[in-house]
Homo-oligomer: A and B are copies of this chain.
């Protein structure tokens, strides 16, 4: 029986055309985050299971990770996210590193889940983190970077909304304003996280099941439902607005708005799944009605590095997946048409492979990326091959061309042919490349 040619379920083969798109996405990521002084790091895709048991949400570890026992008896996981890894790396060199530390990475991550629209088993995720800054300048910078990224792909502020909340504010609201027990806070938080995916009646029933009869009698549930209707920080009750937890978030949103990030706003239902968030959290939503969902997000997680037995380090970061990003760019018609890295296709006329080597070498030394067709096929078949590969120019080399040192260059889109010196050809092609 012949072997299957399919890639592993829920993962993608990157044929060159698709890989070119990925490279474009990554190169924009790199140039934007490096503009803000972030340095790239990386780590092995395998990590010990313990790393995820500590602080990641339980669902991910128990149901969605690729875990196995290696030949040495170690419980290992193919990383489902990068945050535990980067925390481990910072902890390992806690004392040596210079803060603020700005790091980024574009790892591939694996989750065992049912492949669906916008969710795959393998995806790549830009991770951007700043370590060592406790004040809100770090939160603001991270959101600025996320915003600058989308704009670098050509997006405008009308296309997306940056929704913010603060875990500390929610903690205050649940624990003090509503006076819930620890367990109730936990359950209520998870329900609020899922609120927008539930029917209102279902949500209300689930909340009421969490609350004690006395709480329902005293109207705690109604108090919560009222709060959850609030669309702006201004509309929160004065009792909440007098708290530091409120002022912090209010300042961050105002400052973002002041710095032309007009699409940053408060969203009380925003919790984010992972347990490790400890402060401001944010998510960026696509405004297009056909794709109106959270694209990516992040927040402050000051506790993770400390789990490794070193002094904790204040941390803010976000992770942006390539699948959701592509979806966003597609919906908003922002995917560029990308040129082939190959500048020209050399079509050999007759049996001149060896004789053409010098000319080919010269072209390459002048900076051209050249693919040579040595199939011995007919010229029109060779040209078809070039067109299929998305290469714009063909350069013909035969005995006459080698003798005259004049080569025919053909634009395969327009069909236009011209005969020129090698230097002239190189300059025509470089002009096109730099267009």
Kindly identify which residue among B7, B66, B371, B384 contacts A102, using a CB–CB cutoff of 8 Å: B371
In the bound complex, do residue A41 and residue B70 qualify as a contact, i.e. CB atoms below 8 Å apart? no
Judged by a CB distance under 8 angstroms, whether A325 is at the interface is no
**A83: shortest Cβ distance to chain B, in Å?**
13
* Alpha-carbon separation in the docked complex, A132 to B388 (Å): 15
The chain B residue with its CB closest to the CB of A88 is B5
A51-B3, A375-B132 known; A43+B259 contact, CB < 8 A: no
Instruction: Sample 21 A-B pairs with CB under 8 A, ordered by A number.
Output: A2-B307, A3-B50, A3-B51, A4-B88, A4-B308, A5-B88, A8-B44, A13-B44, A13-B89, A14-B41, A15-B41, A15-B93, A19-B41, A36-B371, A37-B370, A39-B340, A39-B341, A39-B389, A46-B122, A68-B68, A99-B385
How many copies are assembled? 2
Judged by a CB distance under 8 angstroms, whether A369 is at the interface is yes
Judged by a CB distance under 8 angstroms, whether A16 is at the interface is yes
Interface centre among A259, A369, A371, A388 (most CB of B within 10 A): A371
Of the stretches A133-141, A191-199, A421-429, the one at the interface is A133-141
Give the residues in chain B near A60, CB-CB below 8 Å.
none
Interface residues of A in 125-159 (CB under 8 A from B): 132-133, 135, 137-138, 141
Judged by a CB distance under 8 angstroms, whether A263 is at the interface is no
* Alpha-carbon separation in the docked complex, A259 to B5 (Å): 38
In the bound complex, do residue A259 and residue B389 qualify as a contact, i.e. CB atoms below 8 Å apart? no
In the bound complex, do residue B309 and residue A2 qualify as a contact, i.e. CB atoms below 8 Å apart? yes
A6-B92, A13-B89, A342-B37 known; A384+B98 contact, CB < 8 A: yes
The chain B residue with its CB closest to the CB of A102 is B371
**A279: shortest Cβ distance to chain B, in Å?**
16
Q: Interface readout for A86-109 with B: 1 if CB under 8 Å, 0 if not?
A: 001101110001111011000010
A2-B307, A5-B88, A34-B342 known; A373+B100 contact, CB < 8 A: yes
> Number of A residues contacting the other chain (C-beta, 8 Å)?
94
In the bound complex, do residue A8 and residue B103 qualify as a contact, i.e. CB atoms below 8 Å apart? no
Give the residues in chain B near A103, CB-CB below 8 Å.
16
Give the residues in chain B near A42, CB-CB below 8 Å.
13-14, 19, 22
Judged by a CB distance under 8 angstroms, whether A12 is at the interface is yes
Give the residues in chain B near A375, CB-CB below 8 Å.
99-100, 132-133
A41-B19, A89-B5, A309-B3 known; A341+B11 contact, CB < 8 A: no
Interface centre among A11, A16, A255, A354 (most CB of B within 10 A): A16
**A111: shortest Cβ distance to chain B, in Å?**
11
